Structure 1
Amino acid sequence: MIGLLRRLRRPAPFIEDVLWHAVRTDTAWTAALDDARADRLRALTARFLHEKTITPLAGLKLDDAQRVQLAALCSLPLLEFGETGLRGWSQLIVYPDAFRVQRTHTDAAGVLHEWEDDLSGEAWDQGPLILSWADVQADLAEPDAGFCVAVHEMAHKLDVLDGELDGTPPLPREWHARWARDFQRAYDDFCMQVDLGRETALDPYAAEAPEEFFAVTTEYHFSAPDVLAASLPKVAEHLHRFYGPSPFARR
């Protein structure tokens, strides 16, 4: 019983002030948060570091500040959703650069197709989240360019929490219906624009699948909210409600 009480009374995960201050000021997204949301992100980042193993591969070495920075980027989409968004996986794997994966697909005629993809990030349904450190650094260097691979992959982790990777994260029933309707309409229109060869304000990769549309628009919510609002106003409204205001939203 005494051992159980000690475990229950363990202090909450914590990030030292000096380390958090350095990460917050050196990371555009965290530097732009107001103090209340920054404090919430700090708690979520500490929880992330407590629950997840960060594993660098291929000779990559990460210091304490870099680990905190990675955890903070991954925690940005949880500012409103909360630590429930960390459920279902335990490891963040970090490669030095883009990593290669083998893909297979059997088409309707039963023909097996095999190819290789070079990826900047990947999120397995019940497995690790994987990031390219070089791509994370590129995002940090241009935080308002519409890209943030850590946020993109975390959107997939949120999406699959309801058991289905379909571009719709867990939502109350009434909101779920409106989200599904508005996102489907926006996605269909976006795909039509891409198929016609028209230039789009958002990365055309969003047309790959509904789940990629959600993840890419999530990136724009955090890194280029004005572009998202001008291009897809209804989607922008849903994401503002789901994630809270973008750190780069005009005050």
Structure 2
Amino acid sequence: MLGWLRSLRSGPQIPDAAWQATLDRYPFLSDLPPSDAVRLRELSTLFLRDKRFHGAKGFEITDEVVLAIAAQAVLPVLHLKGGLDWYDDFVGIVVHADEMVARRRVIDPTQVVHEYDEVIAGEAMENGPVTLSWKAVLDSSNTTGTGYNVVIHEFAHKIDMRDGAVDGCPPLPAGFAGAPTANAARAAWLAVLKPAYDDFREKTIMADRFGAEPPWLDDYGAVNIGEFFAVACEAYFVNRERFGAEFAALLVLFDEFFRPRRR
């Protein structure tokens, strides 16, 4: 097991049976068009060649683990210019068997320091590793209906972080969506994303406080606009049809970024 992975630099490819098992487990991968499926496997091979997996607290890294994470991680960059360059700020991927407890420290507007523990399924560090719960990765094979996917969530954060801020807006070039400058492209992006976030947050508050119908998508997206972007990316990639029905304007925006038209 994993012998093929250690030899990737010298040419071997992902074993057919192991790759097919990965596609079969995650329906949003097996439903890709043939050309996308070919590119997914190519980028997954390169991803596995360049990244290093570490099992936390004795967790065993197996073929199933690395292939599941690689295939889902490369899905967001499948059509982005630069491809895996979007992930070149880190090498390590740390996998825990289950959820983790992260110690947080925040300073509120009155400069009072608050420390607390947060249970998390994953975390992406700027210029650092990605940490994932294997249980949560496996859960993503059964949560297409809710739009949940921890791998895509954390790697969407990596894409968002490319300009140094987790603010829901990845770096955009001049010309994006017809904008003449990069600043205009950012403004155009936020003109669509922020109203969607504000509406989602309002619905989440109404559901939590007054028992209103909860919105589709994980309510963690209401924490801030950066988390909303990551949660929205999860749904965009794993349940495009429902995402488009719920967030029509975001579907157009995300298509422009993640599936740019060839000019």
TM-score, normalising length: structure 1: 0.87
Matches within 5 A, 1:26-45: 26-45=25-44
d(CA) in 2 for partners of 1:92 and 1:244? 26
AA of the residue aligned to 1:234: A
Residues 44, 78 of structure 1: 8 Å contact kept: no
Alpha carbons of 1:113 and 1:191: their partners in 2 closer, same or farther (altered >3 Å)? same
- Look up the match of 1:105: 106
- Look up the match of 1:3: none
- Look up the match of 1:211: 226
AA of the residue aligned to 1:202: L
**How far has the Cα of 1:11 moved from its partner?**
6.2
Residues 90, 127 of structure 2: 8 Å contact kept: yes
Provide the secondary structure at the position in 1 that maps to 2:69.
helix
- Look up the match of 2:47: 48
Structure 1 residue 144 corresponds to structure 2 residue 179: no
Q: Which moved more, 1:94-103 or 1:187-196?
A: 187-196
d(CA) in 2 for partners of 1:170 and 1:79? 17
Residues 202, 228 of structure 1: 8 Å contact kept: no
Q: Which moved more, 1:105-114 or 1:20-29?
A: 20-29
AA of the residue aligned to 2:46: R
Provide the secondary structure at the position in 1 that maps to 2:57.
coil
- Look up the match of 2:5: none
Deviations 1:104-125 (A, max 9, x none): 1122223211110000011011
Q: Kindly, what percent of the aligned residue pairs are identical?
A: 32
Structure 1 residue 191 corresponds to structure 2 residue 201: yes
Matches within 5 A, 1:123-202: 123-173=124-174, 174=179, 175-197=185-207, 198=212, 199-202=214-217
**How far has the Cα of 1:67 moved from its partner?**
1.1
Q: Which moved more, 1:166-175 or 1:130-139?
A: 166-175
- Look up the match of 2:182: none
RMSD: 1.9
**How far has the Cα of 1:58 moved from its partner?**
1.6
**How far has the Cα of 1:33 moved from its partner?**
1.0
- Look up the match of 2:60: 61
- Look up the match of 2:89: 88
Alpha carbons of 1:62 and 1:104: their partners in 2 closer, same or farther (altered >3 Å)? same
Where has structure 1 moved over 4 Å in runs of 4 or more? 10-13
Structure 1 residue 228 corresponds to structure 2 residue 229: no
Q: Which moved more, 1:77-86 or 1:19-28?
A: 19-28
Provide the secondary structure at the position in 2 that maps to 1:161.
helix
State the number of aligned residues.
236
Residues 92, 130 of structure 1: 8 Å contact kept: yes
Provide the secondary structure at the position in 1 that maps to 2:94.
strand
Q: Which ranges in structure 1 are unaligned for 5 or more consecutive residues?
A: 1-9, 246-251
TM-score, normalising length: structure 2: 0.83
